[in-house]
Amino acid sequence: MDHEFSGEIIEWRGPAPYYFVPVPEQDAAALKAAASAAGYNSWGMLPIRARLGSTEWKTSLWSKDGGYVVPLKDAVRKPAGLDEGDEVELRLTFDAPTRKQTPRNQAAAKRVPVPRTAGSREPVTAEQLTILPANEAAWEDLQAVFAAGDPARCWCQRYRMLPKESWGSEGPEELAARLRDQTACGQRKTGQKAAGTTAQVTSGLVAYLDGEPVGWCAVAPRADHPRLLRDFRVPWLGRNEDRTDATVWAVTCFVTRAGYRRRGIGRALAGATVDFARERGARAIEGYPDFVDGGSVGTLAMFADAGFAEVSRPGNRRAVFRIDF
């Protein structure tokens, strides 16, 4: 299915600025119908091929205001000298999968630790990634990121558990359900709003590379983490902090999908947390990197590159990095 149209480039600010071209209403309706027939969620991202002049690339349409918009990545936009307000002509091609390759059948494939498209060690830049608030991502995409290993046991609940709870006592299904509630995946128009802002609050960010979900980062008000407040010494040693202050946010977890690791995806997500928290009413944001091996909490270099400054080093391997807005 091909659609050709002209449209004006807009800038839509999420965790970082991106440029898009809205799909005309009639074309969006046809694409949505085709996506539904192929088994895609109508609110999710729709994989397509886009052509601008002689340049063709693979991307995914984003849902916005009941329709779709086409993301224009810098690698396409900048060489053409295009900016916000410019008129462009685009051609979109949606190739509906065959019966044996429908998204419903591919759901099982998402549980495989290493996707067929993974395996490259080429570094990824922030400009190559699409980073969304988690409520604008599909839950199936987040499941793909958490498919194997410790992430599939913890589901980013380490600092959110209540007294006497553990991975074993609650089980992965319950923990996954909690993360789904915290992120409100696929529910762009629901959720709380931070005081004094119009921005929606959700508990994290999801990174996409060429339409594939490849990373997750947990970022939310520090006071939303019971175990962080109760049992974890790192944020508090040697500091006079109000633990209940909801305007201080915390970056507590990074997960990179198997097959995409050590390519800079976590570093890009760390950078995206800054605007994400600030636009949602935070007055400060903190991270607690492990300077021995990083692990799920990130490395010193990741936070330093994102503009965080070290404020303390409690213990032998943990640091507190912070930005005050």
* Domain ranges, ordered by start, for the chain: 2-109, 126-324
> What share of residues in the chain are helix, strand, coil (percent, to 5)?
30, 30, 40
Q: 201-239 as b/e, with b when 16 or more CB fall inside 10 Å? A: bbbbbbbbbebbbbbbbbbbbbbbbebbeeeeebbeeee
Given a contact cutoff of 8 angstroms between Cβ atoms, the answer to whether 90 and 7 are in contact is: yes
CATH number of 126-324: 3.40.630.30
Given a contact cutoff of 8 angstroms between Cβ atoms, the answer to whether 94 and 143 are in contact is: no
Tens of pLDDT along the chain (325 residues) come to 788 999 999 987 654 456 889 999 988 888 888 877 776 655 456 778 899 988 888 777 877 777 888 888 777 888 889 999 999 999 999 876 654 443 433 433 344 344 555 667 788 888 889 999 999 999 999 999 998 788 888 999 999 988 888 888 888 888 998 999 889 887 765 444 444 333 445 789 999 998 899 999 999 999 999 988 887 889 999 899 999 899 999 999 999 998 898 899 999 999 999 999 999 999 999 999 998 877 899 999 999 999 999 999 998 889 999 999 9
pLDDT on residue 273: 96
pLDDT on residue 270: 96
Q: Which CATH architecture has domain 2-109?
A: Beta Barrel (2.40)
**Tokens 């995914």 correspond to what residue?**
60
pLDDT on residue 90: 93
Q: Which residues contact 66 (CB under 8 A, 6 or more apart)?
A: none
Q: Position 4: which residue type?
A: E
Given a contact cutoff of 8 angstroms between Cβ atoms, the answer to whether 248 and 322 are in contact is: no
φ/ψ of residue 304, rounded to 5: -65, -40
- Among candidate residues 56, 209, 59, the one with its CA nearest the CA of residue 125: 209
Distance separating alpha carbons of residues 137 and 199, to the nearest angstrom: 16
Given a contact cutoff of 8 angstroms between Cβ atoms, the answer to whether 53 and 165 are in contact is: no
